[in-house]
Structure 1
Amino acid sequence: MADEETLAGGNVSEVVRVGATVRKPWTDATAHVHAFMDAVRGAGVDVPEVLGRDDRGRQILEFVPGRLALDCDPLTPAGLARVGRLVRAVHDAAATFRPRPEARWDVAIPAPGDDLICHNDLAPWNLLIGERWTFIDWDGAGPSTRLWDLAYTAQAFTLSDTTQAPAEAARRLGALIDGYAADEALRRHLPVVMARRTAAMYDLLETSHRSGLQPWGSMFSSGHGDHWREVNRYVSRHREVWAAALSPTSPGSSRRPSLR
C-alpha cells in the first residue's frame, strides 16, 4: 500500500490519503451513507466516488484535489450563488433517495423533521474548491429537512464572521439563497431557523463539555464554544436584516418553484 498522509481538518476521526484515495473509519452508518452518496452522485451531483472497504476495514473514497473554501479568500456573490445551486442540487437528488428501513445514521444534532436525508454539514470546512466544487465528509448524513440543512449552510457561508457589517452579510446571504432558487416560504422561515440552528450547535458543544462527550467537549474548550455563542447572538440580533434581504420583493430575488 502507498504511504499514508494524514489529512488536516478532521475533528471526529482520523482521515488519511493513500494515493488517489481517502481512507476513513467504517461505522455502523457507513454502508447507508455510501448508498446515499451513490444515489446523489447517480443523480448527476459531483460527490466523491465510493470505492469500497480496504483490508483494514476502512472506507475507501475518491480523493478530490482542491482547497477547502474555509482556507480560500471569501467567496464572491457569484461564488456564493454557485454554492446555493450546488446545495439545491444535493437536496433535489436526496428527495429521490429512499433509505432502507434498517438504515443507521450518525447525526450529531437531530433535525426537527425527516423529510429527506441530508448531508447535515454543508459548510466551508467541507467544500473543496478547484477544478471541481465538491462537498466532502458525508459521514454525518441522516434525516433532516431542506430548511434545517440550508439554514446551517447559509449561516456558515455568510454569517459566521460576526465582525461583518450586517448589511454586507445580508447581501452575501441573499446571493446564496438566490442561487438555491428558494421559494417564498423558505425565505420567510430562514431567519428564525438560522438562529435556532446556531443555538442547537452551541448547545451540542456546551452539553458535551459538561458530560465529557468527545470530540464536541474538547471543541467547546478550544474556542468553538465561544465562536458559536457569538454567532448565535449575531444571527439572532439581526434577524430583521436577514428577513429584509430574503424578502421575495427584495432586489435580485424572485418567486421560485416550491421546495416540496
Structure 2
Amino acid sequence: MFEHEQELTGGNASERVVRKGNTVRKPWLENSATVQAYLGALRAAGVDVPTPLGRDGEGRHVVEFVEGKSALEQLPLGHEDLMRVGRMIRQIHDASKSFAMPDPDGWNVLLPVEHPDLMCHNDLAPWNLIMGDRWVFIDWDGAGPSTRLWDLAYAAQSFGLLVDGQPVHEAALRLRAVVDGYGADIALRTALPAAMAKRTAAMHDLLKSSHETGFQPWADMYVAGHGEHWRGAADYVRQNLPVWDQALTAP
C-alpha cells in the first residue's frame, strides 16, 4: 500500500514539500548532500536535529518529520523557554566546530557574512523551531558558512521579538534571556546589537532588491508583507541600540 503524501505549508522559500509517513520530502538541491552530512554530524555530537534519511526513489531530499507545534504559534516565549532556546543554539554552534565547513566561495548563502568560520543553520527563528515532546530546529536547507555572531544575531532578534510595535523594555528582557541561555561572553554580547541592526537591514535590503529585479520567491514576499515587516524591524533595532547594549552587558 502506498503511503499518502500530505503537502506541507508554511514555508516561504521552498518548492513543494510533503509529509510521507514519518518523513519530510522536498526537492534535492545542490547543497543537499552536504546538509545531510551536516545533520548526521550534529546528531553524532548529541544534538537533536531531524534524522537525515538520504534521497528517495524520486530523487527527493528526505529527513525525519518532527511532531509538535511551531514556536511561531506560541510567541512571545517566556523567560525559561527563551533560555532553553539559547542553550540549544549554543549546542548547535559548539557541535558545528567539528564539521568541515564548505568553501564559502562555492556556496550560495542567502545573506553572507564576511570571514565565515562555522557551518550554521542561518535561519534559527521561531518558524523553524518545533516544540513538543522534543524541541527541534527544522528546515536546514539554508545551512552554510557563517559565524556565531551572525547566526545568533538573527536568532536573538527573532526570538526576542525585536520588532516594530513591541514594548522596548520587554523585548530587551527577552533578548537578554536568549543570550544568557547561550552563555555568550562579553565580546559576543558587545558585538550583538550592531550585528542585529546589520542583519535586519540586510534582510530588508534582500527583499527590496528582489522586488526590483523580480528574484523569486523574495520578490513576492516583499509585497506580501515581509518587506514592511523587515523595514520596521530594522528601524526598531537600530533606534534602540543603546537599550540592547545595556540589556546584554549590564551585570
TM range (shorter): over 0.9
Distance 1:199 1:119 in 2: 19
Question: Which of 68, 74, 85 is the equivalent residue of 1:66?
Answer: 68
Contact in 2 for aligned 1:32/1:103 (Cα 8 Å): no
Distance 2:80 2:43 in 1: 24
Partner of 1:5 in structure 2? Answer: 6
Partner of 2:141 in structure 1? Answer: 139
Deviation, structure 1 residue 12: 1.6
Q: Say if 2:186 is the partner of 1:184.
A: yes
Contact in 2 for aligned 1:159/1:235 (Cα 8 Å): no
Distance 2:103 2:125 in 1: 28
Identity among equivalent positions (%) equals 55
Deviation, structure 1 residue 148: 0.5
Distance 1:148 1:122 in 2: 11
1:14-163 alignment, distance < 5 Å:
14-99=16-101, 105-163=107-165
Partner of 1:143, secondary structure, is strand
Q: Given residue 139 of structure 2, which amino acid in structure 1 is its aligned partner?
A: D
Question: Which of 231, 234, 256 is the equivalent residue of 2:233?
Answer: 231
- Deviation >4 Å, runs of 4+: 100-104
Q: Given residue 12 of structure 1, which amino acid in structure 2 is its aligned partner?
A: A
Q: Given residue 83 of structure 2, which amino acid in structure 1 is its aligned partner?
A: A
Q: How many residues align?
A: 249
1:241-260 alignment, distance < 5 Å:
241-247=243-249, 249-250=250-251
Contact in 2 for aligned 1:105/1:141 (Cα 8 Å): no
Q: Given residue 5 of structure 2, which amino acid in structure 1 is its aligned partner?
A: E
Deviation, structure 1 residue 100: 5.6
Distance 1:53 1:24 in 2: 10
Change (3 A) 1:146 1:81: same
Distance 1:158 1:100 in 2: 30
Change (3 A) 1:160 1:101: closer
Unaligned runs of 5+ in 2: none
Q: Given residue 228 of structure 1, which amino acid in structure 2 is its aligned partner?
A: W
